[in-house]
A and B are shown apart, each in its own frame.
Chain A
C-alpha cells in the first residue's frame, strides 16, 4: 500500500511538559513524522525521549503546545483517545512493563479485545500479528518462560494486533543480543515495507544510521537537531556535543574516500556490512565485518 510519503501523519508542535516534581520533561519540543517514514530519536538518558512518546500516544497531556494526528489536534476525550491509541501503537522499553497476561496469545489479544472487536476478528488479528513477528509457535507458551527478545516481539505483536498506522518503539533493541537485534530489525523492516510509519528511540548510532530515513536529536526535553539520515557523517560535532558518537561506518568511509579506495561522490554505505560488500573481494571485507 503505497502512500503519500510527504504527508505528515503525526506532529508534536512546541510541546512543553513538566512532571509533578517540577522537572522538565519536554521544553518546546517539535517533531513531525512523514507517513511511511522511519525516524530515530536519539539523545542521552533522561533527554525526554520516553516523555515525547507518551505524548504521541496520548498518555501524557502537554502543558503547552499541541500534538496533532493526521493534521488534527488530539482529542483527549474518551472516544478521541480510543481512536488515537488504535492508530498510534506504543511499544514500551521494558517488556515486563507491558505484558500482563499469562500466555502469549492472550496478551496479544488484549488490544483488539479492548477495541470491542468480535471474537473471530480478534482471533484473526492475533494470529496475523504473531505471524508477523514470527511467534506463532510460542502462542500458547506462558509469557514468563520466554526469552527477553521473544518478550519484545510479543510486545510488538500486541501493538500490531491493533493495526496502528504509526508504531512507536522505545529502545526496542536495548538488552538484546546481536542475533535478536537482527531478528527484530527484520520485523521492523517488513512492517515498514508494508507502509507502517515507525518512530524509534535508540542509543545505537550504527543501527540508527543503517535503518532510519530521518533522525531527531533530543536533549533536555528539546529537539536540538533534525536531519536526514544521509547527513549523519556531517553531524559529528552536533552528536558529540550531546554525548553521542558518530556511526562507525560514517567515520570510516570518508577516510577510505580520502585514501582513494572509493571515488568521491558515490553513495555512502550505511553499515559496516554494506561497506564490506563494497570492498569485496578485498581482504579488508572480512576484517571490517568483524
Chain B
C-alpha cells in the first residue's frame, strides 16, 4: 500500500493528466476483456506492465512486490477453479485436477492478470486525490467521493494510531502469550473504535469551522498539455483494443 502510494506521488507521469491515464487504463481493461485467447490476454498484460514500468520508472522487482498480493489472490482463485474435491474416492476425500476446466481457467486468469496490470498502471501513476478529482468530473455521486476522500486520509491516521497502540501494548507485554495477544487485540479494536468516533466528530467540527456545509470540495489540480495527453492515451488505448480484436 505504502509503496503504491510512494510511486503514485513520485513517478515520471505524475504530471500527466489523470484523465489521459484513466482513459488508457480503461482501454487496457476493455482490450483485455475483448481478447480472443489467453495468449492475447497475456500479451496485453505484458504490454500494459511494460508501459507502466517505462512510464513510472518503477523497477521490475518493486512492480512485482506491489502486484504480489493480487497475484497471490489470483493464484488461489485459479487453484480453486482447477482442482475439485472428490469425497467418494477409494482413498477417501481427495483433490483432483479437472483438465476439462483448464482452457476456461487459463482464459479467466490471463484476463484477470491483464485487468490487474491495467489497474496497476493507474494506481502507480496517479495519486488518489487525482483519481477522486477525475471521478468528480465524471459526475460520480458526491457522497461516494466524500467517503473515498475521508477513508483515504483516515487510513494513514489510523494506521499510525494502531501502530502506536500496538507498540504501547507490546512494551507492557501485551503480546507475550497467545491469550494476552488476543486480549490486547480486542482492547486495541475497542480503543480504535472509540478513536474513530471521536476523530469523526473532530473532522466534522473542523469542516464546519472552514465553512463546509455540503460535499467536501477542493481545488482541482491543473495539468499542462492535458488535451495532447488525452489524444495520445486515446490513440494508444484504441491500438490496444484493435490489437485484441484482430489477434486470436
Contacts and interface: CB of A to CB of B under 8 A. Distances in A.
Given A82-B211, A115-B211, A98 B206 contact: yes
Interface stretch (B74-82, B106-114, B148-156): B148-156
Interface in B13-38: none
A105 B206 contact: no
Nearest to B132: A102
A131 to B, nearest CB: 16
Interface stretch (A106-114, A185-193, A275-283): A106-114
A114 B212 contact: yes
Interface in A113-144: 113-115, 119, 122-123, 126, 140-144
- Give the most central of B129, B202, B211: most A CB within 10 Å: B211
B9 A110 contact: no
A57 interface: yes
Interface in B202-219: 202-203, 205-213, 216-219
Interface in B172-217: 199, 202-203, 205-213, 216-217
B206 A97 contact: yes
A162 interface: yes
B142 interface: no
A103 B207 CA distance: 16
Given A97-B206, A114-B212, A107 B218 contact: yes
B147 to A, nearest CB: 12
B149 A111 contact: no
A181 interface: no
A140 B208 CA distance: 24
A270 interface: no
Contact of A158 (B9, B132, B149, B210): B210
Contacts of A229: none
B211 A85 contact: yes
B3 interface: no
Given A92-B202, A92-B206, A115-B211, A100 B150 contact: yes
B209 A100 contact: no
B202 A97 contact: yes
Nearest to B152: A102
Main secondary structure of the interface of A (DSSP, over half): helix
Nearest to B200: A97
B221 interface: yes
Nearest to B203: A100
A98 B128 CA distance: 19
A113 B217 contact: yes
B209 A85 contact: yes
A115 B213 CA distance: 10
B115 interface: no
B212 A59 contact: no
A142 B208 CA distance: 22
A159 interface: yes
Contacts of A158: 210
Given A106-B218, A109-B219, A100 B206 contact: yes
A123 B207 CA distance: 19
Contacts of B202: 92, 94, 97-98
B210 A85 contact: yes
A134 to B, nearest CB: 20
A57 B218 contact: no
A217 interface: no
27 contacts: A57-B209, A59-B209, A81-B211, A82-B211, A82-B213, A86-B211, A92-B209, A96-B199, A97-B202, A100-B150, A100-B153, A101-B129, A101-B149, A102-B128, A105-B219, A106-B219, A106-B221, A110-B212, A110-B216, A110-B218, A119-B219, A126-B219, A140-B9, A143-B153, A144-B153, A145-B9, A162-B211
The 10 lowest CB-CB distance pairs between A and B, nearest first, are A109-B219, A97-B202, A102-B129, A144-B156, A106-B218, A111-B210, A114-B211, A98-B206, A90-B209, A113-B217
